[in-house]
Amino acid sequence: MNFASYNLERNLLSALQDLGYVTLTPIQEATLPKALKGESFIAKAETGSGKTHAYLVPLINNLNHNSASLQAIILEPTGELCRQVYNFAKELSNLTKDFNVEYYYQSSTLKEARSYSLPTIMVMTPGKLLELIKNHLISLSEVSSLVLDESDMLFEGEAKNLMEEVLSYIKAKQKMIFTATMKEHEINALKKYFGINKYYEVSKNYTSKNVLHHFVDIKHRDKVKALELFLKIKKPYFALVFLSKVKEAKQTYQQLNDDGFPCALLSSELSDRERKNLLKRINDGEFSLVICSDLASRGLDFPSVSDVISLDIPRSIDYYYHRAGRTGRYKNRGDSYIFYDDELNKDAKKTLESKLTFDYLILRDEGLKEDKKRVNQPKKRNLELEKEIKKAVSKVRSNKVKPNYKKKMRRAAEKAVKQHKRAIIIKNLKSKRKALASVDK
């Protein structure tokens, strides 16, 4: 379905077409009819699925152009996401001339805020909005629509208390809540909190289907040296390298540059101006390799990222999904690699393996090789063990359901497995003794 299928404002539709937005993505197709009617809902879709325009288009279309007051607020968890959304909205504003959009960025001062004339749409973090409210620099009387983007981060940990305080001031009739990774119980809590019963989930994928996932065994190499070898072999078009800790990201950045691998560093320690200038240099094609801390994984939108490389698994598995989501965007294909050795968090690795499909590679001096030991082979059925388990369970099972019968059946099966293994061990020991006895003779 196309945007032209809906009764959108002529200037808005023309702007979307000029910018190349013609066909709706699944999340846009699912939510646009409801959003245009001013309805509230919660929506979940993978990173890079077009969520931003799923709320921007109806917000802009439904504005009262006879009023110059603030009518819509978009809340984002980070300043970088604010900037990304602002840039999308500003593109449309420049073409339609029908509305004004502004974002109150992280390093903005109250003095600068006092010089603002309130726009029609404002993008900011909850903390900055609260700052404006408490200093009486913003009027919320005509705000009819509120967007909570990346809502999992907005309601994460201590941020939840801040959000609850902010929401106590906003009486917007329409609330559009978007997430990529929020879990079912968290979504149910939001439904109850906001009194929203409409929920749309267009995909149960944790990342885009356009992304291929790989575990790379670096064979006890130093991580940075392994990365340098990988870069020589793979020669990625444009790669993002992620580490969980800012300190390690800085060390990696320094070592790569010292070793002749020019790269940029994106971390939370950059000032707003430094970050803005660096992003411009990256978008201008000055760097093909960027080192990032996890905070940067939310909000980065470089359409040409071919490879994402994780030198560790983040503390929160959800952050891996956001890392991988930086590639495979806008129908492009991409690869996400996780470097590992024996020191890797094995529980985290198992969790990822249960959620996503990986292939396994070994990093060697001569190139990336398939790890043949890890190629998924169909398991051979142990018919003898199956027979023993069936026999043990049948002794417990009866036509009449008795208390704890499931637990008893499970214990019977576990006991059968142990006895089977013990029998094999005893058999092997007897074979070894027999072989040794024949040698002594």
- The series of mean pLDDT values per 10 residues for the chain, 441 residues long, is 88 88 86 94 83 93 89 90 88 88 72 68 92 89 94 87 93 93 87 91 73 91 94 94 91 95 88 80 91 72 87 82 82 90 75 87 92 62 70 63 64 78 76 65 55
211-374 has CATH 3.40.50.300 classification: yes
Strand order in the sheet with 174-179: 101-104, 121-124, 72-75, 145-148, 174-179, 41-44, 199-201
Bridge partner residues of 42 (DSSP): 177, 199
What is residue 397's predicted lDDT score, i.e. its pLDDT? Answer: 59
The answer, as to whether pTM is greater than 0.75, is no
What is residue 170's predicted lDDT score, i.e. its pLDDT? Answer: 93
What is residue 253's predicted lDDT score, i.e. its pLDDT? Answer: 95
What is residue 420's predicted lDDT score, i.e. its pLDDT? Answer: 78
Give yes or no on whether 3-201 and 211-374 have one common fold.
yes
What is residue 302's predicted lDDT score, i.e. its pLDDT? Answer: 79
Kind and range of the H or E run holding 44: strand 41-44
What is residue 377's predicted lDDT score, i.e. its pLDDT? Answer: 47
CATH of 3-201, one of 3.40.50.10860, 3.40.50.300, 2.60.40.10, 1.10.540.10: 3.40.50.300
Question: Can you give the residue ranges of every domain in the chain?
Answer: 3-201, 211-374, 383-435
- Angle (CA) 264 268 270, round 5°: 60
Determine the residue type at 221. Answer: R
What is residue 137's predicted lDDT score, i.e. its pLDDT? Answer: 86
Contact 119, 59 (CB under 8 A): no
